[in-house]
Amino acid sequence: MGRTLEFFSVSPQEKSMSDLRLDATQLDRYSRHVIMDEVGPDGQKRLLEGSVLVVGAGGLGSPAIQYLAAAGVGRLGIVDDDVVERSNLQRQIVHGDADVDRPKVESAADYVDALNPDVSVETHETRLTPDNVADLVADYDVVLDASDNFATRYLLNDHCVLTGTALSHGAIYRFEGQVTTFTNERTGSSDPPCYRCIFPEAPEPGTVPDCATTGVLGVLPGTVGCVQATEVVKYLIGKGESLEGRLLLYDAMDMSFETVDVLSNPDCPVCGDDPEIESVEDVAYDGTCSLAAD
């Protein structure tokens, strides 16, 4: 089961005092949050002071960016080295026809700027690599993995485990999607799993076709990306039960959701009892993303 994040409760008196932290425009903009006991002005303040790095501004990143910005997450980092193609527009909804050939980070930043002036956007027009992952992830509260390749997923997992950074994972294929959360809060007893515990190695290159080859239902990443954004918002406000320790599986054709319990692997090379990965330099992030050869 996921961890219950019940960090605080706000009394009516405290809520009245907390209202002073938000200006009149913010109280209006976030009023549907403020009136909820589970969020309230203190929770909204946490969102405004929070920071999320979204890796990928495509199918999953688009809805995640939209809803994190609308919720008032104060600082959003967006990492992507690609440009907008017309074939993206069927699902990557922060981009429009006029954005074709523009860098995705620029298009996504313009969308956020128009949506919510409370949100500061930091664009990183680059591909995530072992050389830059530490600098890119540093100073963000949560990482939302909206990437579309295994090398990035394993790199983010390994770095976030090693640094104790919370990570939201999402992936899609044709009509199916999956989501889970890794808080990477490790105490030494009953520690939760990481991505490598669930998927020890990446599939051999070429064995899993991409959406350009097999297609993808346009609305599918909207559902999966919104679930990821929900997990991140709950993490930032410290409320609700996360998907940590559970893998949520979604089938759009059957319109079914299923959660599968996932356990930590004591032999995991990055979070196990005797980890072999002490740095992202220990891994070859190509092929199966296994330990680099000596």
SS3 131: coil
211 annotated active-site: yes
Domain ranges of the chain: 31-282
* pTM, rounded to two decimals: 0.91
pLDDT of residue 133: 98
Q: Considering the domain 31-282 in this protein, what is its CATH number? A: 3.40.50.720
| DSSP assignments along 159-217, one per residue | HHHHHT-EEEEEEEEBTEEEEEEE-----SSSPPP-HHHH-SSPPPTTSS--HHHH-B-
- Asked if the model's pLDDT at residue 3 lies above 50, the reply is no
Which pLDDT band holds residue 225 (cuts at 50, 70, 90)?
Answer: very high
pLDDT of residue 263: 94
- Record the tokens describing residue 158, joined without a space: 């390994």
> Of 180, 174, 176, which Cα lies nearest the Cα of 153?
180
Which pLDDT band holds residue 276 (cuts at 50, 70, 90)?
Answer: very high
pLDDT of residue 19: 43
- Asked if the model's pLDDT at residue 87 lies above 80, the reply is yes
Round the average pLDDT of the chain to a whole number and report it: 91
Which pLDDT band holds residue 111 (cuts at 50, 70, 90)?
Answer: very high
pLDDT of residue 137: 98
**Residue range 152-169: mean pLDDT, rounded:** 98
Determine the Cα–Cα distance for residues 292 and 155; give it in Å rounded to an integer: 13
Which pLDDT band holds residue 4 (cuts at 50, 70, 90)?
Answer: very low
Compute φ and ψ for 111, nearest 5 degrees.
-60, -45
- Give the residue, 5 or 159, on which the prediction is more confident: 159
Query: Considering 160, 194, 211, 289, which one is annotated as catalytic?
Result: 211
pLDDT of residue 189: 60
